[in-house]
């Protein structure tokens, strides 16, 4: 299969049963994408496939053939945090960090599509991402803060 991940083209052989999340982590060593449940529940494995938010444990790697994928590693360059990552840091929006990559990729998806964000809308759009640690208030605050920073 051929895929473009974070702007880089990859060509690799995969077994038909390989999940996209396992391909990203095991074949490409992009371990920022986490596996929290493997059953489409937690959102820790969220990536963008052709710009759409996808739980990568729900998709076979081969289904991504010819597509473009964005993972958490593709959100920043030169070791600098992007505005969403910085907002998560500044708003104390993580504790163990296990949900964070999925939350931030989902936040990136939200902020790419929604300019007029309310707290309610953010809560609705992260309903597929579960955090076991923080409660959600700081995560919601961080996404709203990132939205303000990106508009400034």
Q: At residue 44, what are phi and psi to the nearest 5 degrees? A: -65, -20
* Least distance from ligand FES to the Cβ atom of residue 127, Å: 13
Give percent helix, percent strand, percent coil of the chain, each to the nearest 5. Answer: 40, 15, 45
* Least distance from ligand FES to the Cβ atom of residue 75, Å: 17
Of 59-67, 79-87, 91-99, 115-123, the window that binds ligand FES (rule: CB under 6 A) is 91-99
Q: How far is CA 91 from the centre of its chain?
A: 18
Binding of ligand FES at residue 69 (CB under 6 A)?
A: no
Binding of ligand FES at residue 108 (CB under 6 A)?
A: no
Binding of ligand FES at residue 75 (CB under 6 A)?
A: no
E-state strands within 56-96 = 68-70
Which residue in the set 23, 88, 98, 109 belongs to the binding site for ligand FES (CB under 6 A)?
98
Residue 100 exposure: Cα atoms within 13 Å on the Cβ side:
22
Contacts with ligand FES by CB under 6 A lie at: 35-38, 40-45, 55, 57, 94-100, 131-134
């Amino acid at each position: 299969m051929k895929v473009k991940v974070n702007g880089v083209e990859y060509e690799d052989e995969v077994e038909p049963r390989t999940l996209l999340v396992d391909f990203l982590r095991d074949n490409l060593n992009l371990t920022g994408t986490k596996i929290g449940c493997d059953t489409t529940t937690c959102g820790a494995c969220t990536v963008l496939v052709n710009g759409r938010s996808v739980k990568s444990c729900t998709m076979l790697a081969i289904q991504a053939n010819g597509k473009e994928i964005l993972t958490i590693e593709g959100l920043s360059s030169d070791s600098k945090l992007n505005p969403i990552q910085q907002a998560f840091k500044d708003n104390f929006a993580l504790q163990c960090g296990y949900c964070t990559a999925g939350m931030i990729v989902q936040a990136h998806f939200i902020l790419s599509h929604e300019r007029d964000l309310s707290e309610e809308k953010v809560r609705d759009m992260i309903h597929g991402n579960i955090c076991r640690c923080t409660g959600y208030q700081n995560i919601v605050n961080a996404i709203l803060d990132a939205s303000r920073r990106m508009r400034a």
